[in-house]
């Protein structure tokens, strides 16, 4: 059964939610919020915070979406030279990291929620973000792994692929 493979935190929820469905049959007074049918999780996020510096950056760029225009910019040699030269000390940024959009951020943040799978920023805050960290660590429970996969699939759909070292190319 698929339920057997779910993490316990989800399996418990499903069992209790099914019990609520069974209990409410013929009884309209049964509430799904009754503790016997739900699990309080004050330690787990059902909300998310968005980085203000990232929102400010996106605002200054006029809220780009992952489009041919943005990709074309991220493929330009002069852009890449400048983008890499402006990397903060210790940053391992690659050209493909320049295509991060609000959509990338939202996908990342939503994976942290209960509904999105409770993913973490792993292995640690220094090594969880961006192309290099994601492709080196290969951690499916890292939030940015999902954001990178989402971006890579969108790129593929637009007709591009990304080299191991993070350069975008056209699929010819």
List residues binding Zn ion (CB under 5 A). 121, 143
Shorter beta-carbon distance to Zn ion: residue 113 or 121: 121
Residue 50 beta carbon to Zn ion: minimum distance, rounded to whole angstroms:
11
Q: Which tokens belong to 118?
A: 């409770």
- List of residues 6+ apart from 152 with CB closer than 8 A: 162
Nearer to Zn ion, 17 or 120 (CB): 120
CB of 150 to Zn ion, least distance (A): 14
Question: Alpha carbon 30 to chain centroid distance?
Answer: 36
Q: Minimum Å distance from CB 171 to Zn ion?
A: 30
Nearer of residues 38 and 113 to Zn ion, judged by Cβ? 113
For residues 19 and 37, is the Cβ–Cβ distance under 8 A? Answer: yes
User: Structure tokens of 26?
Assistant: 């013929």
């Amino acid at each position: 059964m698929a339920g057997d493979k779910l993490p316990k935190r989800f399996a418990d929820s499903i069992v209790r939610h099914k019990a609520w469905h069974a209990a409410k049959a013929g009884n309209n007074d049964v509430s799904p919020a009754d503790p016997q049918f739900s699990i309080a999780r004050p330690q787990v996020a059902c909300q998310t915070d968005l980085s203000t510096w990232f929102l400010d950056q996106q605002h200054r760029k006029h809220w780009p979406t992952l489009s041919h225009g943005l990709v074309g910019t991220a493929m330009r040699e002069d852009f890449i030279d400048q983008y890499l030269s402006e990397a903060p000390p210790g940053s391992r940024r690659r050209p493909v990291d320049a295509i991060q959009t609000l959509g990338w951020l939202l996908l990342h943040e939503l994976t942290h929620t209960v509904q999105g799978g409770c993913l973490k920023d792993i292995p640690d805050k220094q090594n969880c973000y961006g192309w290099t960290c994601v492709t080196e660590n290969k951690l499916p429970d890292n939030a940015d792994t999902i954001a990178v996969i989402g971006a890579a699939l969108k790129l593929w759909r637009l007709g591009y692929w990304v080299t191991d070292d993070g350069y975008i190319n056209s699929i010819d």
